[in-house]
A and B are shown apart, each in its own frame.
Chain A
Amino acid sequence: QQQVKQSPQSLIVQKGGISIINCAYENTAFDYFPWYQQFPGKGPALLIAIRPDVSEKKEGRFTISFNKSAKQFSLHIMDSQPGDSATYFCAASFDTSGSRLTFGEGTQLTVNP
């Protein structure tokens, strides 16, 4: 049962452009929505996370937009750089220790110089 759906599967953006990755979830009890970044040969690393009491969270060039009524959230990467090329995963969980992360399918982002 896929509870978090992510799109697109792959994304190619020019340097300086905006990268947008979308996710939709089903379980309304989820209350923690992180994005993970994974470089080839490495483990996923937390990039930015949001809780449903806010509609947007920004950290540097990375912004999460959250729409609770639509059960959707998205990652925006402003001024995309070649170093941002990686696989991005959205996830959802309950905001307690030991909660499993339910991941989206991942988006392979390529930023061309």
Chain B
Amino acid sequence: DTAVSQTPKYLVTQMGNDKSIKCEQNLGHDTMYWYKQDSKKFLKIMFSYNNKELIINETVPNRFSPKSPDKAHLNLHINSLELGDSAVYFCASSQEGRGGGTQYFGPGTRLLVL
């Protein structure tokens, strides 16, 4: 069973469209994250939710809106897509307690904005 899953795996869309990426974890973790990996492979945190509550909200355009319907799910909605949004988006999760820095990543969603 996949621990952290993301859908879709690939997303090709036109500028100006709105799209969503879904993430689910079956590890029973209480914290979930969204990271963006750019073309140079640099990984940057975007958001983090703990028990459905937003705890990290980096300097990200407000076109990006995370939503956590429950502890096991964290979705990312992007409005008015721009060329610069093209990247790989990774969802991750971690568990409360020592070692909370251990994050488990999903396979990524490759977004290409044309």
Q: Write the residues of chain A forming the contact surface with B, with a CB cutoff of 8 angstroms.
A: 32, 34, 36, 38, 41-46, 49, 87, 89, 93-103, 105-106, 108
Contact = CB atoms under 8 A, between A and B. Distances in A.
A42 B108 contact: yes
Given A100-B45, A103-B42, A103-B43, A95 B98 contact: yes
Nearest to A103: B43
Contact of B94 (A97, A105, A106, A108): A97
B86 interface: no
Contacts of A43: 4, 90, 92, 105-108
Nearest to A89: B43
Interface in B59-114: 90, 92, 94-108
B97 to A, nearest CB: 6
Contacts of A87: 41
Contacts of B44: 103
Contacts of B58: 100
Contact of A97 (B96, B107, B108): B96
